[in-house]
Amino acid sequence: NSIAQRHGKLWVGTAADIPGTAETTDAAYLKVLQKNFGEMTPANAMKFMYTEPEQNVFNFTDGDEFLEVAEKYNARVRCHNLVWVSQLSDFVTSTNWTAEALTLVMKNHIFKTVQHFGRRCYSWDVVNEALNSDGSFSSSVWYDTIGEDYFYLAYKYAQEALAEIGAHDVKLYYNDYGIENPGTKATAVLGLVSELHKREIRIDGVGLESHFIVGETPSLADQLSTKKAYIKANLDVVITELDIRFAETPYYTATVQQQQAADYYTSVTSCIQAGPRCVGIVVWDFDDAYSWVPGTFAGQGGADLFNSTLQAKPAYYAVAEALEGK
Ligand code: G3I
C-alpha cells in the first residue's frame, strides 16, 4: 500500500475474516496485515446472516469489531455486502414472500445496515454476484420473488439511506466475478449501469473480483480494455478479491511460482494502466494459511501473496514492481 500511495490515490487492501476466527488473535498475521495493507474488506462480518439473523433483529457487533481493527490500522473499509444470494438468514429463504413484502425486507436491511455503519464505510457492495455467466440474472430469493427491479431498488434504497444521514460520499458498488475480461457478462454489467443511470439512481463503481487460476488469467489487453469500458461508463474500478490459485500441485516450485508472479503482475498493471479511476486493488486473503480456496476447491490452493508460514512469495515482489511501474 505504501508503494501504491506514492502514485497518488491508489490503495492496496485485503479481505480479513475478523472477528471470532484464528486470524483475530494471530499476532504475526496481523503484523503483516498492518504493514502492507491500507484497506480491509470483511470476509463475513457484515453479511446478511450475521447482521440480521432474525427479521428486524439486527446485530452489528462483528461489523463494529471489524471496523475497530481497521481503524486502528488506518485502513479504509469496503463494506461487503447488502444483497446477495448466499449467507442469507433462514427467515429470508424459508418464507414464501410476496414481492411487496420481500421488497420491504430488503429496504429495511439496507437502511438499518447502511445507516448503522455510516461513513465508517468507504463503500458498499450493494448487490453482489447477481448474474449468470451468460449475463442473465441468476436465480435467488430476490430475483425470483421481486424480478429484476430488486437490483435497481437496492441501489435506490442505499442512496436514500445514505442521503438521510448526510453520508453522500459513501460509494455504491456492484461486485462480481467473471466480469474482468470482455464478454457477455461484462456487457450485461454495463447494461445494468446504464439502466441505473437512466433511472437517475447512483452507482459509483464496479468491483472486479479477479479470482484467477495460475496460467489461465485473462491477458493484460483484455483486463485493461474491460476496466477502460467501465471507466468510460463513469465508474470507479476496484480489483476487489484478487487471488490466483494453483489448480494442481506442486504449488511451490520455482517455475510455477514465477508464473503466478507474472499473473499477479498482469492484473496489477492493468489497474495502473487504466489510470486514476482504477482506485484500489484488494487481495482476498494475503496468506495461504487462511485462504478460502482449499475449502471450496478441493486440491487447489497456494493462491496468495504469502505462503502459509507468512513468507512473501515471488508474487508479492511482482505486485510491488507492478505498483512501482517497473
Ligand atoms: O460461522 C461458521 C462457524 O460457526 C462454523 O463453525 C464454521 C464451520 O465450517 O463455519 C463458519 O461459517 C463459515 C464462514 O465462512 C465464516 O468463517 C462458512 O462455513 C463458510 O462457508 C464461509 O465462507 C465464506 C464464503 O464467502 C461464503 O460464501 C468465506 O469465508 C469468504 O471468504 C467468502 O467470500 C466470498 C465473497 O463474499 C464474495 N465473492 C466470493 C468470495 C469467495 O468465496
Domain range summary for the chain, segments of one domain joined by +: 2-324
Cell of 268: 496489477
Range list of H helices, the chain: 2-6, 27-36, 48-51, 61-72, 90-93, 99-117, 141-146, 149-164, 184-198, 220-232, 254-274, 293-296, 314-324
Q: Is the CB of 209 under 6 A from ligand 1?
A: yes
Centroid of ligand 1 to alpha carbon of 87 (angstroms): 8
Question: Residue 169: what pLDDT?
Answer: 98
Best residue among 23, 44, 83, 296 to mutate for probing ligand 1's pocket (most ligand atoms within 8 Å of CB) is: 44
Ligand 1 contact, 292 CB (< 6 A) = yes
Residue nearest to atom 15 of ligand 1 (CA): 44
Q: Point out the ligand 1 atom lying closest to the alpha carbon of residue 285.
A: 32
85 pocket-lining for ligand 1 (C-beta < 6 Å): no
Nearest atom in ligand 1 to 47's CA: 37
At position 121, the amino acid (one-letter code) is C
Residue pLDDT tens, the chain, 326 long? 999 998 788 999 999 999 999 999 999 999 999 999 999 999 999 999 999 999 999 999 999 999 999 999 999 999 999 999 999 999 999 999 999 999 999 999 999 999 999 999 999 999 999 999 999 999 999 999 999 999 999 999 999 999 999 999 999 999 999 999 999 999 999 999 999 999 999 999 999 999 999 999 999 999 999 999 999 999 999 999 999 999 999 988 999 999 999 999 999 999 999 999 999 999 999 999 999 999 999 999 999 999 999 999 999 999 999 999 87
- Quickly count: other Cβ atoms within 10 Å of residue 299's Cβ: 9
β-strand pairing of 236-245 with 211-213 = parallel
CB atoms inside a 10 Å sphere around CB 229: 17
Q: What are phi and psi of 287, to 5 degrees?
A: -135, 145
Q: Would the pTM count as exceeding 0.90?
A: yes
Helix-helix angle 184-198:220-232, to 10 degrees: 10
Catalytic residues: 129, 241
Per-residue pLDDT, 326: 76
The distance in angstroms from the start CA to the end CA of the chain is 16
pLDDT computed for residue 83 by the predictor: 99
pLDDT score of 71: 98
Residue 305: all three cell numbers together: 501473496
Q: Which three cell numbers stand for residue 190?
A: 454495463
**Could you give the CA distance from residue 171 to residue 238 in angstroms, rounded to a whole number?**
12
Coil vs helix vs strand at 16: strand
Under 8 Å CB-to-CB from 104, ≥6 apart: which residues? none
Distance 291 CA to ligand 1 centre (A): 11
Taking the centre of ligand 1 as the mean of its atom positions, its distance from the CA of residue 277, in whole angstroms, is 30
CA angle 173, 175, 180 (to 5 degrees): 120
Q: With contact defined as beta carbons under 8 Å apart, do 212 and 267 qualify?
A: yes
Distance 4 CA to ligand 1 centre (A): 29
pLDDT at 74: 98
Q: What is the CA radius of gyration of the chain?
A: 19
Please give the C-alpha separations between residue 177 and each of 32, 183, 267, in angstroms, as whole numbers. 27, 12, 14
Q: What is the CATH number of domain 2-324?
A: 3.20.20.80
User: Which residue matches cell numbers 448503522?
Assistant: 116
HEC sequence for 110-164: HHHHHHHHHHHCCEEEEEECCECCCCCECCCHHHHHHCCHHHHHHHHHHHHHHHH
Interatomic CA distance for residues 260 and 266, integer angstroms: 10
The ipTM is: 0.96
pLDDT confidence of residue 266: 98
Distance CA 77, CA 243 (A): 19
pLDDT on residue 7: 75
